[in-house]
Amino acid sequence: MKKVIPVLIAIVLIIVVGAVGFGARLVEKYSYSKERADLAEYFDIQGDDDVPIILQDEQIEEHAKLWDGECYFDLATVHKYFNDRFYHDKKEGLLLYALPDAVVSAAVGSQTVTVGDDAEERDYVIARYEDDTLYIAADFVKEYANFSYDLYTEPNHMQVYTEWNERQVAVIRKDTKVRYRGGVKSEILTDVSEGDKVIVLEEMETWTKVKTADAFIGYVENKRLKDQTTETPEPVTDYTEPEYASNTRDHKINLAWHAVAGMAGNETLAEAMAQTKSVNVIAPTWFSLCTDQGDFVSLASADYVSKAHDMGLEVWAVIDNFNGGEVDTYEVLAGTSTRRSLIDRLIATALEYDLDGINVDFENISLDAGEPFVEFIRELSIPCREHGLVLSVDNYVPMGYTDHYNRKEQGIVADYVIIMGYDEHYAGSAEAGSVASIDFVEKGIADTVEQVPAKKVINAIPFYTRIWEMKGTQLSSQAVGMATAKQFIDDHGIATVWDETACQNYGECQSGDSYYQVWLEDAESVSVKLNIMDKYDIAGIAEWRLGFETADIWDVIEGYMNR
């Protein structure tokens, strides 16, 4: 018996120790962790002035800055989430915003803003640089965008709302912790008290993902929630989008470009119009940028305008960036001083000659000139709107490499967006092909009306084609009018066939060492294009250019205009 007792004691001790160990493990496994998360790491706070942004119910990669008690967004963030109409003049250190009737301007580093000719003061610096990055005060952005924000400083983060959709909410049943992940061992983000309201983001079996009133996103146990319901927050309506009134016409537009290369060309108006039908706008190529300071060559003629008006024509004079010599379009448009000088002189000339509109034909715009170009259109639209001048803008058929032309913004501030529905294959093309096949034309129209109201879209058709010549391995072409192309077909005895893909009459022949191909623009091809334009119910047609057409084309176009 004496030998048994020690053994029993040892067994009991082993059991007790085991039970204690097992209990400790149970406690370790099921007890709530008291460890708190590193909130600077949680929010990815990069410094004392760094402010992470929670947009709606997610933290975004962009951060704000906190300087002198004011929140600032960098310009890229403003463009992406709030309003892309803010323009940064890097050359002159200005922040600009074009309203329908005035330009808002603030010098970087200043508290003064001018709206047109009127100066106003803010109690904060409106825009400022950090290194080369422009930041704009959130309160100033709010003057031109509809959003709300709340700033929290322990630690720095901000809640931003741009939408106020229906959401699920719940009430905290009992004081508890919001944890980084669902689980009792996850780090604590923040504390919530009985009666606090949280936004319900995602429900799971035993935990729910929530957002607190001060924009912490984490997890609480389901048993800590009650009174779950749906609510619609009160939207913020501090800002009303201004109306950029348009000077569009209540009839179809038929615009014919008239190539005027010198003052003598103005005398050819009557001849150019002799065989036309239903044309109601003439667009003479009168103005060409000629210096990087925004000067332009002018071929304007008061007599021409008077004669055109007598014919019942509106005159929308063209300004281009390629006929006046070597000009850096970026240099002309990027600086506010040169851009405004150009606009002032252009409007003064338009009024002097009693023009009805201005047609902007700036081509081959570089990527860096895209934003200055769009700002030019915005600012030009203001005096055009004031003086009743129609503003139209020419664009290549929409392709990925011309996104920086920003047709959507053009469609808001300008009166007409003109698609140059040609040059599908051009002088430098690697292969022969149509100047304007039907799929190319339709894609141009379809892509544009996705961004621009159809009532503002004009499709331009070519009155020319290209005669392609392959000699050995060398491909070349020449652009010719309709009559010249037809003569070439006749002279070479070419039997044309209808190309169902291009919807054009096609011909080819071998002549000596040369192999020729021609996709004709004629009454048949134009008729198909007009049917597509009818399909999309756009504002009208334009033609490049007078003098390249045959007379029968006008019967087809007149039929379109009368539909």
SS (H, E, C) 137-165: EHHHHHHHCCCEEEEEECCEEEEEECCCC
Instruction: Enumerate the CATH 2.30.30.40 domain ranges in the chain, comma separated.
Output: 164-231
CA 538 vs CA 71, 254, 418, 445, 458: distances in Å: 44, 12, 10, 9, 6
Indicate the angle between helix axes 438-449 and 523-536, nearest 10 degrees.
20
Q: Which two tokens stand for residue 528?
A: 């198909």
Q: Are 278 and 446 in contact (CB under 8 A)?
A: no
Q: What's the predicted TM-score (pTM) here?
A: 0.93
Kind plus residue range of the DSSP H or E element containing 410: helix 407-413
Q: Which two tokens stand for residue 540?
A: 């009208």
Taking residue 83's Cβ as centre, other Cβ atoms within 10 Å add up to 18
Q: Which two tokens stand for residue 441?
A: 């034309």
- In order along its 563 residues, the chain shows pLDDT tens digits of 556 676 566 665 666 555 444 444 544 556 999 999 999 999 999 999 999 999 999 999 999 999 999 999 999 999 999 999 999 999 999 999 999 999 999 999 999 999 999 999 999 999 999 999 999 999 999 999 999 999 999 999 999 999 999 999 999 999 999 999 999 999 999 999 999 999 999 999 999 999 999 999 999 999 999 999 999 999 998 899 999 999 999 999 999 999 999 999 999 999 999 999 999 999 999 999 999 999 999 999 999 999 999 999 999 999 999 999 999 999 999 999 999 999 999 999 999 999 999 999 999 999 999 999 999 999 999 999 999 999 999 999 987 889 999 999 999 999 999 999 999 999 999 999 999 999 999 999 999 999 999 999 999 999 999 999 999 999 999 999 999 999 999 999 999 999 999 999 999 999 999 999 999 999 999 999 999 999 999 999 999 999 999 999 999 999 999 99
User: What is the second-level CATH architecture of the domain 42-156?
Assistant: 2-Layer Sandwich (3.30)
Q: Are 553 and 463 in contact (CB under 8 A)?
A: yes
First to last CA, the chain: 119
Query: How far is the C-alpha of 371 from the C-alpha of 85, rounded, in Å?
Result: 10
Taking residue 143's Cβ as centre, other Cβ atoms within 10 Å add up to 15
Question: Which amino acid makes up residue 118?
Answer: D
Instruction: Enumerate the CATH 3.30.457.10 domain ranges in the chain, comma separated.
Output: 42-156
Q: Which two tokens stand for residue 429?
A: 């093309």
Q: How far is CA 33 from the centre of its chain?
A: 50
**Which CATH number, 2.60.40.10, 3.30.300.130, 2.30.30.40, 3.30.300.90, labels domain 164-231?**
2.30.30.40
CA 456 vs CA 244, 253, 506: distances in Å: 13, 10, 33
Query: How far is the C-alpha of 360 from the C-alpha of 321, rounded, in Å?
Result: 9
- DSSP letter assigned to residue 27: H
Q: Given the structure tokens 């209808």, which residue do they identify?
A: 498
Instruction: Enumerate the CATH 3.20.20.80 domain ranges in the chain, comma separated.
Output: 253-464+524-561
Q: Given the structure tokens 């140059």, which residue do they identify?
A: 420
Query: How far is the C-alpha of 122 from the C-alpha of 111, rounded, in Å?
Result: 5
Helices (H), 31-157: 39-43, 75-81, 138-141
CATH of domain 253-464+524-561: 3.20.20.80
Taking residue 380's Cβ as centre, other Cβ atoms within 10 Å add up to 25
Query: How far is the C-alpha of 309 from the C-alpha of 519, rounded, in Å?
Result: 36
